[in-house]
């Protein structure tokens, strides 16, 4: 049984989603436990896969027993086993944390909501684990379709419109990716990532491969909400239900960054991207603009949740810029930042979710005296804010440190300056929020109305996790990221 | 003889696509959209993709036109542009 | 000019899907009515399917179903199958998936359009934006 | 706004046209796409899977994992339409027609209802005259459409067709039934709970077959391992595995098409519609 963990990893949430949908019609009580069981099996097998990869190297799992170029194959190496562990962990913790808010927001349809939540996680796991280009498109469609539906279940007035805009731009992105895969297929004849990587070097001169490269990355940048293509993200994540924004915000865009790095490292290869094409400098400039624009727009916001979405746009600029610097330091910083940023964003959205559960709306004017009302949530929020700004013990500092080193090493000073400026802007941002919520301009005495315990423990757990990944970040880099890049 | 058929169907496809977008009444858009899907199904049948043509005929021309008319029935029929 | 003509005949099919895709993209961006944008989206997706199907086409090859293999009377070894006789089945498989995905997205997008109409009583982009700014 | 759209369109169009410069000529048998993977599928499919229709053999066996997630996409669409549109609150006004006299009774508040039967009959707000010709024609036509749909699903191995096409045709026969009569008769005849269960059961059949193959020692979805439990000769076992999978796909697609149609046309109230 132990050789089937990669398949079990994807099948467990899918089966749990189906059984949960069956139970939602008959035995409503069993829906939540099935969801928990499915995700914990998936988390356990992700852990087992990580151990296996660390001990024996890359795992190859042939679906339906066919050899790779013929059938579909799962190649799990160091990078995606860690990202898989991250996805399943965050999804499991979020399911536990948002039980109350799901009951509160999706009243009689909560049981069916678990099913579509699990399908979203299946899509993410499949996107990360697959080794086949077209299979990645199908799973990308599952992830997008479930996120359209989940986002549209949010607040009555704005979320359907935000979701429909997300549908249009998401379909353009996915279709551009499909077009890119079509161009790769017409030139090389294969769909398997490894196979394509061996066939591509012979075709480096041809314009079709160049256009395939451009459209693949264009599609992924749209899905990733890189700066000029990020129009759909702020509304979609702000008006989504809290349980949904807490799982989409940290994972969706980070998995797309992982897909970009997978395409860069495994399919197209470094020497094609950095020697043959001269796009790297232009992309680093786009990333710099993304960082600055994200930070500036975040300051202009009046709503805490909307401000966080612009910080996500800014963080995407970090990762894309880091990956395209062209040297090992930058790529290490980008990969480490995927992990750190997922945890930081998850902690921030957990805290904001607790606030929304209690206060119903999180405009700045409504945040008075929050330190008094919800001390534990605010403690988690402060820790996550420190991590975004990049204060040493927390993990945000280390990945930013690698990125800045990589920028200086590659001579991209504009990127390094943008990193520092955005850290300062984030500092200004968060201290404005602390200042509002600390000084109670209201007159009445603040009684402590904290979020329920089941929402506080996950926040505490993730905050501690922030510090642990911070301390062990060099261990992560040496055992996982550097061997992967060699 | 082969590429003449191809050309006729291609011109019909482009005509249906442009008409479906420019016409103002949504029900006629639904019909033109069904015609466009049927033309695509013909195109693929000519190109030898029989499974894809069968799916497009039943799914594209069939069901998505029914969904389209059902949605137009529930929302408005007039469009401004 | 002389070498241009055979090049056209060899490749005109590939240019067709670009025309359709651009019609779809233009409709998605510039049309005011949300349902019209959905029509543009579907045209955009079907044009990519057209591109994939035209990859697998082989001149004077028959459809990808092996002839006289139904009976099963004679074992498979006697059947001599040449790859050049049959059309490449792989793009067809990929496009079966793409068609079903485009219908699923179309259904969910129509459900969203109905939900927006329930709230705003209109599907025109500018009227919705006007009503949004009123609140 | 239109000007920006035109710029984007011409930019993308130009990039794509530039790429077609060094495509292989259209339709030549030894272009990379036609000479690398597909000869294996064409020549080996009969020996390895025993299924003459190459598209079905590649769809359900070589790349069966793709098709499972495609069925999951269809299931997602049905679930999404249910989650987005379904609302359970009562309708305010009801219309009844007193059959003997033809008098139409309207109840403003939704709480009072009349026993629908010999004497009274439901009436939709957008009242549509039921044409006898359409009703009887459809009553005769629908069973044959369903028979044809089952043929399409069953005959997917030998002729064009398979789970998706068969499921859609079966679903559209039910939609025809809803349009010919009225939505209420379809919803009474096929309960919403039944549709929900069918849409989940189809994908469960697909994943279940894969899981059984895994338990029997092979990789996920490896039909070859089914010989240990099914009494068929190993040469055709993969064809039977594919048939089982196609049946699962057909069930899901049929149920989801009806769920999407019913939810869109009645805006989630499941009472009145086209």
Other C-beta atoms lying within 10 Å of the C-beta of residue A459: 25
Selected residue of C57, C94, C121, C127 to mutate for chain A interface (largest A Cβ count, 10 A): C94
Distance (Å) from the alpha carbon of C47 to chain B's nearest alpha carbon: 9
pLDDT tens digits, C66-121: 887 655 545 545 667 787 888 889 999 999 999 999 999 999 999 999 999 998 98
Residue D107 inside a domain? The answer is: no
Rounded to whole angstroms, the Cα distance separating A41 from A19 reads: 14
The third-level CATH classification (topology) of the domain covering C4-58+85-134 is: Helix Hairpins (1.10.287)
Q: Say if C53 is an interface residue toward chain A (CB within 8 Å).
A: no
Looking up tokens 């059949």 gives D205
Distance (Å) from the alpha carbon of B70 to chain D's nearest alpha carbon: 5
Q: Do A173 and A223 meet the contact criterion of CB atoms below 8 Å apart?
A: yes
Residue D270 inside a domain? The answer is: no
Report domain extents, chain C. Answer: 4-58+85-134
Sequence-ordered list of residues with C-beta below 8 angstroms from that of C13, at least 6 positions apart, any chain: B6, C54, C57, D26
Residue A224 inside a domain? The answer is: no
Rounded to whole angstroms, the Cα distance separating D265 from D45 reads: 43
pLDDT tens digits, D83-103: 999 888 776 677 777 878 878
Q: Say if D264 is an interface residue toward chain B (CB within 8 Å).
A: yes
Mean pLDDT of A202-226: 89
pLDDT tens digits, C4-24: 777 676 677 788 889 999 999
Rounded to whole angstroms, the Cα distance separating D221 from D226 reads: 10
Rounded to whole angstroms, the Cα distance separating B18 from B16 reads: 6
With CA atoms as reference, the chain C residue closest to D47 would be C76
With CA atoms as reference, the chain A residue closest to D200 would be A18
Rounded to whole angstroms, the Cα distance separating A69 from A201 reads: 17
Residue A295 inside a domain? The answer is: yes
Other C-beta atoms lying within 10 Å of the C-beta of residue B27: 13
Question: What's the domain count of chain D?
Answer: 1
Asked if pLDDT for residue A117 goes beyond 90, the answer is yes
Q: Say if C123 is an interface residue toward chain B (CB within 8 Å).
A: yes
Residues in chain C closer than 8 A to D31 (CB atoms): 55
Residue D151 inside a domain? The answer is: yes
Q: Do A7 and D214 meet the contact criterion of CB atoms below 8 Å apart?
A: yes
Tokens of A468: 């642990």
Residue D271 inside a domain? The answer is: no
Residue A21 inside a domain? The answer is: no
Residue A55 inside a domain? The answer is: no
Q: Say if D152 is an interface residue toward chain C (CB within 8 Å).
A: no
Question: What's the domain count of chain A?
Answer: 1
- Whether chains A and B touch (3+ CB pairs under 8 A) is answered by no
Coil, helix or strand at residue C33: strand
Rounded to whole angstroms, the Cα distance separating A198 from D237 reads: 34
Strand stretches in chain D, DSSP E: 94-98, 103-107, 120-123
Q: Do A63 and D16 touch (CB under 8 A)?
A: no
Residue D101 inside a domain? The answer is: no
Residue D14 inside a domain? The answer is: no
pLDDT tens digits, D218-234: 888 888 888 888 888 87
pLDDT tens digits, B26-74: 999 999 999 999 999 999 998 889 999 999 999 888 899 999 999 998 8
Closest CB to A138 among D69, D193, D200: D69
> Can you give the pLDDT at residue B1?
57
Domain hosting D69: range is 49-87+129-265
> Can you give the pLDDT at residue A396?
87
Q: Do D193 and A186 touch (CB under 8 A)?
A: no
Rounded to whole angstroms, the Cα distance separating C91 from A142 reads: 20
pLDDT tens digits, C21-76: 999 999 999 888 999 999 999 999 999 999 999 888 888 888 888 887 655 545 54
Other C-beta atoms lying within 10 Å of the C-beta of residue A338: 25
Other C-beta atoms lying within 10 Å of the C-beta of residue A434: 17
pLDDT tens digits, D190-217: 999 999 999 999 999 999 999 999 888 8
């Amino acid at each position: 049984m132990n050789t089937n963990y990669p398949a079990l990893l994807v099948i467990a949430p899918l089966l749990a989603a189906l059984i949960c949908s069956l139970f939602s019609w008959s035995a409503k009580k069993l829906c939540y436990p099935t969801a928990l069981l499915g995700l914990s099996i998936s988390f356990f097998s992700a852990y087992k896969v990580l151990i296996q990869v660390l001990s024996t190297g890359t795992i190859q799992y042939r679906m339906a027993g066919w050899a790779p170029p013929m059938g579909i194959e799962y190649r799990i190496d160091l990078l995606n086993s860690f990202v898989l562990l991250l996805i399943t962990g965050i999804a499991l913790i979020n399911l536990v944390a948002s039980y109350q808010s799901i009951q509160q927001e999706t009243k009689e349809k909560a049981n069916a909501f678990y099913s579509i939540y699990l399908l979203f996680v299946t899509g993410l796991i499949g996107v990360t684990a697959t080794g086949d280009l077209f299979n990645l498109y199908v799973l990308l469609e599952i992830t997008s379709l479930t996120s359209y539906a989940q986002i549209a279940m949010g607040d009555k007035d704005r979320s359907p419109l935000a979701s429909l805009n997300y549908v249009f731009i998401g379909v353009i992105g996915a279709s551009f990716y499909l077009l890119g895969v079509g161009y790769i297929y017409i030139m090389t004849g294969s769909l398997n990532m490894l196979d394509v990587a061996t066939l591509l070097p012979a075709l480096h001169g041809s314009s079709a491969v160049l256009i395939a490269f451009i459209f693949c990355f264009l599609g992924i940048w749209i899905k990733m909400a890189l700066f000029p293509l990020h129009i759909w993200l702020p509304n979609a994540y702000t008006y989504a239900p809290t349980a949904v924004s807490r799982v989409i915000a940290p994972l969706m865009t980070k998995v797309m960054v992982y897909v970009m790095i997978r395409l860069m490292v495994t399919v197209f290869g470094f020497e094609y991207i950095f020697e043959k094409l001269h796009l790297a400098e232009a992309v680093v400039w786009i990333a710099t603009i993304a960082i600055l624009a994200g930070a500036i727009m975040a300051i202009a916001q009046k709503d805490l949740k909307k401000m966080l979405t612009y910080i996500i746009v800014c963080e995407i600029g970090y990762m894309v810029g880091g990956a395209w610097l062209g040297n090992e330091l930058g790529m290490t910083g980008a990969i480490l930042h995927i992990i750190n940023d997922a945890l930081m964003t998850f902690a921030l959205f957990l805290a904001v979710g607790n606030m929304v559960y209690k206060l119903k709306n999180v405009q700045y004017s409504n945040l008075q005296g929050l330190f008094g009302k919800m001390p534990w949530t605010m403690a988690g929020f402060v820790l996550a804010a420190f991590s975004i700004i990049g204060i040493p013990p927390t993990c945000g500092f280390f990945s930013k440190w690698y990125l800045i080193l990589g920028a200086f090493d590659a001579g991209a000073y504009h990127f390094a300056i943008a990193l520092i400026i955005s850290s300062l802007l984030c500092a200004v941002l968060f201290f404005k929020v602390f200042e509002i919520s600390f000084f109670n301009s209201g007159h009445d005495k603040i009684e402590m109305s904290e979020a329920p315990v089941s929402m506080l423990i996950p926040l505490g757990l993730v905050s501690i996790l922030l510090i642990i990944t911070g301390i062990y970040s060099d261990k992560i880099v040496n055992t996982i990221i550097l061997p992967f890049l060699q | 003889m082969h590429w003449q058929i191809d050309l006729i169907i291609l011109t019909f496809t482009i005509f249906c696509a442009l008409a479906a977008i420019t016409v103002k009444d949504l029900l006629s858009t639904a019909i033109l959209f069904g015609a466009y899907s049927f033309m695509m199904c013909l195109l693929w049948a000519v190109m030898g993709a029989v499974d894809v043509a069968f799916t497009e005929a039943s799914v594209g021309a069939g069901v998505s036109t029914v969904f389209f008319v059902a949605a137009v029935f529930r929302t408005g029929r007039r469009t401004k542009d | 000019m002389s070498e241009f003509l055979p090049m056209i005949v060899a490749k005109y099919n590939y240019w067709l899907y670009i025309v359709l895709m651009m019609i779809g993209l233009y409709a998605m961006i510039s049309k005011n009515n949300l349902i019209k944008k959905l029509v543009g989206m579907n045209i955009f997706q079907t044009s990519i399917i057209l591109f994939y199907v035209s990859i697998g086409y082989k001149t004077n090859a028959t459809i990808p179903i092996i002839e006289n293999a139904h009976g099963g009377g004679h074992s498979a070894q006697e059947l001599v199958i040449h790859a050049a006789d049959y059309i490449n089945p792989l793009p067809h498989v990929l496009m079966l998936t793409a068609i079903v995905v485009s219908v699923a997205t179309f259904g969910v997008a129509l459900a969203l359009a109905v939900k927006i109409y329930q709230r705003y009583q209109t599907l025109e982009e500018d009227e919705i934006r006007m009503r949004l700014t009123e609140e | 706004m239109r000007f920006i759209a035109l710029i984007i369109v011409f930019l993308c169009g130009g990039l794509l046209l530039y790429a077609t410069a060094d495509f292989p000529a259209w339709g030549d048998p030894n272009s990379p796409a036609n000479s690398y993977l597909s000869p294996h599928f064409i020549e080996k499919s009969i020996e390895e899977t025993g299924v003459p229709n190459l598209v079905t053999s590649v769809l359900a066996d070589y790349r069966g994992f793709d098709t499972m997630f495609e069925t999951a996409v269809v299931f997602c669409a049905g679930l999404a339409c249910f989650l987005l549109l379904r609302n359970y609150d009562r309708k305010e006004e009801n219309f009844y027609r007193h059959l003997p006299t033809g008098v139409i009774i309207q109840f403003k508040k939704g709480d009072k209802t009349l026993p629908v039967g010999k004497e009274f009959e439901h009436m939709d707000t957008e009242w549509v005259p039921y044409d006898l010709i359409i009703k009887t024609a459809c009553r005769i036509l629908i069973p044959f459409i369903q028979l044809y749909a089952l043929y399409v699903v069953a005959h997917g191995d030998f002729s064009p067709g398979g789970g998706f096409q068969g499921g859609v045709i079966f679903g559209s026969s039910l939609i025809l039934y809803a349009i010919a009569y009225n939505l209420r008769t379809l919803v009474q005849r096929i309960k919403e709970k039944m549709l929900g269960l069918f849409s989940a059961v189809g994908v469960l059949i697909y994943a279940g077959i894969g899981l059984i193959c895994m338990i029997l020692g092979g990789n996920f979805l490896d039909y070859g391992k089914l010989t240990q439990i099914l009494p068929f000769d190993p040469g055709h076992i993969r064809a039977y595995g594919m048939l089982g999978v196609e049946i699962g796909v057909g069930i899901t697609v049929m149920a989801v098409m009806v769920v999407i149609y019913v939810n869109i046309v009645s805006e989630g109230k499941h009472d009145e519609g086209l």
